[in-house]
Structure 1
Amino acid sequence: MSKVVSSEVKLTITPLKPSDIPSEDEIFNAADSIIESCTTWKPGKTYHKVVKTYTRAKGPDDGAPWHCRISVHKPDEATFDQMWAKLGKDKATNELQFIPDIHKVTKVKEISSNQSIWTLFYKFPPPVSPRVFTELQVTRLSEASPRTGIVISIPIDLSSPEDVELARMEEKGVKGRYASIERIVELEDGSTEWRMATSSTPGGSIPSWLAESTMASKISEDVPHFMKWLHSLPKTEE
């Protein structure tokens, strides 16, 4: 029997076992709903002159509040193709290069050409302990106008006996979790809109209110970090 696509799948910080990963249609439907709606959320500060932020309070189906950032980049700063090449392909490996807190990434399992499980090891200044985030990453590129690329990350739980070999690839550290949707859209004037929405918990003893209070600023930093890194690459790699 064919698998019935449900609209009830929710993206949250509740981790999934690899055997419980929903269909791609379910994942993308849930992600599209969130990323399209974020301009209706509560507006926050604008960082680095171009990064607008929004927040959505924790709802009944959420494990944590949601945060969104939106920025628009002209072609002379970064083209759609340049951004997709680094955000839509080998995303975790590239993030290791431009997000200072990430110290190691490991591909745990390749499920298909656009689905894989990664574990990311973060180090923070003392007294915060290292964090480990294990995530399913799912990508989709649409060449229809406007060209659109999307990367979805969903927290994965490898504690089941059948996943013991995969779990051995995780680093030692406090288990954190995040769900995120990252989308780039090519606009009519050739600019690229970059949206990212995320819901997360650092795990451990860090109070949720403290983590939430810095989220908008923290996710906004990724934009200048990425652009600085992109512009540092040899022209053949951009």
Structure 2
Amino acid sequence: MSQPQSDFLINGLPIKLSEIPSEDAILAAGKEILAASDNWKPGKTFQKVIKTSTYSCPSPKGKSGGTKWACRVSEHTREEGTFDEFWSGVGTNKAENEIQFIPDLKKVKLVKSLSPNAEVWTLYYELAPVMSPRVFTVLQVKQLSEIDSRREGIIVSIPIDLSSPEDQDLAALEEKGVKGRYASVERILGLPGDKVEWRMAASSSAGGLIPQVLTDFVMTGAVSRDVPLYLRWMQTNKGRAENAQSE
């Protein structure tokens, strides 16, 4: 995969607020990663339907050893969830929804709204008891569109660095914990037969003393676990809504 002209996303490095690219540039970089993920190295298949793949960015010398990415893709029937139901959970109020079905995610907070489609959030995770809490601050940019009669929703997350003096008031909103970094691209795509494809590519570093090679090793399994967690949460919410309507 050739690197996008804007390598801020594929390299997964934190960006200062003053250096954030345009929303169009962020979305273009995200779409390039999604397109390239079809040709990444195939990995395990989880629960017989969640296919995974991986990609290693070239190092400056052209050798393997750069940022690692993991991708997972799954298809879902209308009975599992409609396009609107998937996009409502993944593309709308993303952070506030995730705290309801991701066990390790304990706190989320809106840091700054840049536009109706771009917001900076800080996410606070409590992992295994022997590990310190982790804090990830990201800019989330979303776009909902229709291409060739197919609906498509994309949300790109890029790591944000609030260490600049002019951002100290915003940095005060972050919880105390080890700073990690997280970049991702998610797409909800409408398919024929009212099916939905959910594709996600992500790169992460837990920071602290956790070796990066360990984070990379478990990444495909970690992103794949979100699928059944989300489906259960979505079905539970659907059931509550249907019960409320019948009362």
Q: Same fold (TM over 0.5)?
A: yes
- Which residue number corresponds to residue 162 of structure 1? 166
CA RMSD of aligned residues (A): 1.4
Determine the C-alpha separation between the residues in 1 that align with 2:210 and 2:94.
27
Describe how 1:126-141 pairs up with structure 2 within 5 A: 126-141=129-144
- Cα deviation 1:175-207 (Å, max 9, x = unaligned): 000110000100012100000001111100101
Determine the C-alpha separation between the residues in 1 that align with 2:16 and 2:56.
26
- Which residue number corresponds to residue 3 of structure 1? none
What TM-score do the two structures reach when normalised by structure 1? 0.94
Determine the C-alpha separation between the residues in 2 that align with 1:59 and 1:151.
25
Determine the C-alpha separation between the residues in 2 that align with 1:74 and 1:164.
46
Determine the C-alpha separation between the residues in 1 that align with 2:57 and 2:25.
21
Determine the C-alpha separation between the residues in 1 that align with 2:75 and 2:85.
14
Q: Which of 193, 198, 208 is matched with 1:189 structurally?
A: 193
What TM-score do the two structures reach when normalised by structure 2? 0.90
SS in structure 1 of the partner of residue 241 of structure 2: coil
Question: For this pair of structures, how many residues does the alignment match?
Answer: 231
Structure with a larger share of its residues in strand: 2
Query: Shift in Å at residue 126 of structure 1?
Result: 2.0
- Structure 1: gaps of 5 or more residues: 1-6
Determine the C-alpha separation between the residues in 2 that align with 1:41 and 1:8.
19
- Which residue number corresponds to residue 57 of structure 2? 58
- Which residue number corresponds to residue 43 of structure 2? 44
CA contact (8 A) 1:179 1:199 kept: yes
CA contact (8 A) 2:204 2:215 kept: no
Determine the C-alpha separation between the residues in 2 that align with 1:27 and 1:63.
20
- Which residue number corresponds to residue 106 of structure 2? 103
- Cα deviation 1:55-101 (Å, max 9, x = unaligned): 00232379520100000000010110000011111000000001111
- Which residue number corresponds to residue 6 of structure 2? 9
Percent identical: 51
